[in-house]
Structures are given as structure tokens and as C-alpha cells.
Amino acid sequence: MALASVLVNLLVAGLKYCLGVFSGSLALLADAVHSTADVVSSASIWAGIRLSRRKSKMFPYGLYKVENLAALATAVIILLAGYEIAQSVLGAGERVRAERLPYAMAGVIAISLILFAFSRYELKKAKLLHSPSLEADAQHLTTDLFSSCVILVGLAGAYMQVKFPLDKVAALVIVVLIAWVGLKIAIDAIRVLLDASLEFATLETVREIILETPQVSKINALRGRNSGRYKFIEADLSLKVKELERAHFVANQIENRIKSQVANVDCVVIHYEPTQKTSTVIALPVAEDRQHLSEHFGEAPYFLLLTMRSQDGKLLEERLLDNPHRLVPTGKGIKVSEWLLSQGVDEVMAAKSLEHKGPFYVFADAGVVLKTTTERDLDRIKQGLTASSPSANSAKDPRSS
């Protein structure tokens, strides 16, 4: 793509120079100098993209920022080209050949069409590839399009022998446009080179992906930066997981989801620590009479949530909730399991074993303890829970139930 830009800029620069000599338009000759600078900038971007893909022992994080350096160099060239246009056009006398202006105007229109078509195509590719240097080059070509249109106005004024110096006014407009785009590209490149934070929208997307994970109790810190077209993200999390192997598994799941849902993420670093819980939330499926344990899990009309103090097993709170997924036609067990996870459940006590069923795997991945009981009376179950010692209520792997 960048190599194609070099070829297009070579073609445009040659056409502008020939038209400038043919018509005597200083604005066209100055813009030919501008387009020649474009050739240099496009070539530097092409080289930057090729270099940015390489990794080595000296550069283990890659040379991605070479693209941003190329974008910064492009911005400098844009600003220098604007200065050259101001110097060439405003500091010289008028020598336009009126009889040749129609041909020059037709040539400028053809150049404008070429620039418009290619700049739109390159910008689309840049967005698709998330390449800052290609995007900078596409914006640069857009300034060429604007300058060509402004030059066309100046040539038309000269052809109609308008006394007002439209050619010089056109040059001033071109200089302002070029300076604005050049400064914007330079600022964007410098932000990345100085490791400025990722944009708010991207960080919020990453935050939502992390918080969707049931085992995450808190995000302590979330940072991100750009390097070329790629993103580097770092998160510090508190997990509701005790085993190191389980915590590592959860961290890998989060990393994979971020990379699949956020474009061009090169690296995700997750630091995690276990959450020190002072209480345990136990869920029980409740029958229609609200006094007995339900024989069914997904179809239970209610769920009783008991919050027990971990230190001594004291009942701190109890909540009876309607089952929101009781009447769904399929997959109600899995939906109920996910809903209970959103309620912060640590243990589930059921009348029948859930082993090898959908809810079992949902709870197992979240580290929720599964227990079965032969008791059906809710008051006796609560008495048994409060009477038991803290050690009897300690968490265990759901697969051992």
C-alpha cells in the first residue's frame, strides 16, 4: 500500500511540474515541489512499515514505533512543503500564460480525481490495518486534493483575468490547510512516542471485558498505550480464586477475550492477587411454598441467598429472589448459573447433584463450590449452616462434589 502511494505521488508530482512549466503557473510549480516532498514521505512510511514488523533481542517489543517516527517525519515534510509554497508563490511575480490555462485546468481536475480516489482507498486500508503512518499519508494526500482545488480556483481567476490576485490567495489557503494537517499528524505521533494512554473508549471496552469475568472482584489498575498500530494493555486485578493454577487460567481467559474483541492488541499483561473475603454467599433453590428446597435447579421458582460470616458462620443476611429464567424454553440451567454468579454466589447447595450438567461447568470455571443435601426443610438447613464450624464451610473444588 505504501509503495503504491510512492508511485502515485511520483505520477502527481510529474504531472504538476509539467503543467506548471506549460502554463507558467507558479502555484502549480510550487505544488509540484510539495508533491515531490510527498514522494519522500511516502517512501519513508513504506520503509517504516517494513522495519516495524521486526523483533530482535535488542528490541523484544518490536519496532512498531518506527511507524510513528515515519508519521512524524511526514508531518515535518508537510510543514516544510507549506513553507516552500508560501515562499515560492508569494515571493514571485505573475507569469501565467492565459492561452494555455484551459489545458492546465483540465490537468488539475484529472489530478484531483486521481488523488481523491487513491486517498479514500488508502484511508480505508489504514483504518482496516490500524496503521498510523498509512493514515497520515492518506491525510497528506487529502491536503494535496484541497490544494489542487484551490489552485484550480486561482487558475480560473487568471483565465477570466480577474484583477484580484486569486493565485496568491489560493496559495495562502493551501499553506493554512497543510499547516493544520501537519500539526495534527505531528501531535498524534508525539503522543504515541511519549507513551500517552490509550483513548478512553478503548480502555472502557477492555474494562467491560474484564468485569464480565465472574472471578474478577475488582480492577485495581488498568493502563494501556499505543506502539505504532498495536496496543499494549496492563491490568492489576483482584480475583475470587485461591489456587494459583486457577488464577493463571482465569488470567489467560481474560487475555484471549481482550485480544479477540479489541483490534491490534499485541500484548496483555495481567497481575492478579486473591481477594480476602470476610463472608460467603450460599444459594439454595426454593420450592413454590418458600419453605422447602426445590427438587429442580433451573426450574426452581425462587432462590434463597444466605450471606454467612466466614469467621464464625454467623448468618448476616438472607434474600429470597425470583428466578428470572424459570420459564425460558432452553438452557435455563446455564442462564440461572450465570445469573447467580452475577449475584456474587460462592457456594450452591442443591437437592440433586449437578455434575456433568451445564451449570456444573459454569460454576466450576468460576470456582463456585457445589454441595448436595438430603435435607429439604429450609429452616433446618439454615440451622445446620449456622451451627457448623467455619472449617466445615471451607471452599473446595466443585469437581470433588
DSSP-derived 3-state class of residue 315: strand
Distance CA 336, CA 313 (A): 26
Q: Is the pTM of this model over 0.85?
A: no
In this structure, are 112 and 40 located in the same domain? yes
In this structure, are 257 and 376 located in the same domain? no
Last residue of a domain, one of 151, 166, 193: 193
DSSP-derived 3-state class of residue 36: helix
Structurally, the chain folds into a number of domains equal to: 3
Distance CA 325, CA 329 (A): 9
In this structure, are 313 and 372 located in the same domain? yes
DSSP annotation of 274 reads E
- For cell 445446620, what's the residue? 384
Strand order in the sheet with 265-274: 216-227, 230-239, 265-274
Burial of 58 (0-12, 13-18, 19+ CB in 10 A): exposed
In this structure, are 347 and 328 located in the same domain? yes
In this structure, are 43 and 181 located in the same domain? yes
> Tens place of pLDDT for every residue, the chain, 401 residues?
556 767 777 787 788 778 777 777 766 766 776 676 666 666 666 666 666 666 667 776 667 777 777 778 877 877 877 777 777 666 655 555 656 778 878 888 888 888 788 878 877 877 777 776 667 667 767 767 777 777 777 777 777 776 666 666 766 776 777 777 778 878 878 877 777 778 888 999 999 999 988 778 889 999 998 877 678 899 999 887 766 777 888 888 899 999 999 888 888 999 988 776 778 899 999 999 999 999 999 999 999 999 988 788 888 999 999 999 988 888 899 999 989 988 888 899 999 999 888 899 888 877 788 999 999 999 999 888 877 645 444 434 444 44
Cβ neighbour number for residue 155 with a 10 Å cutoff? 26
| Domain ranges, residue 346 | 279-400
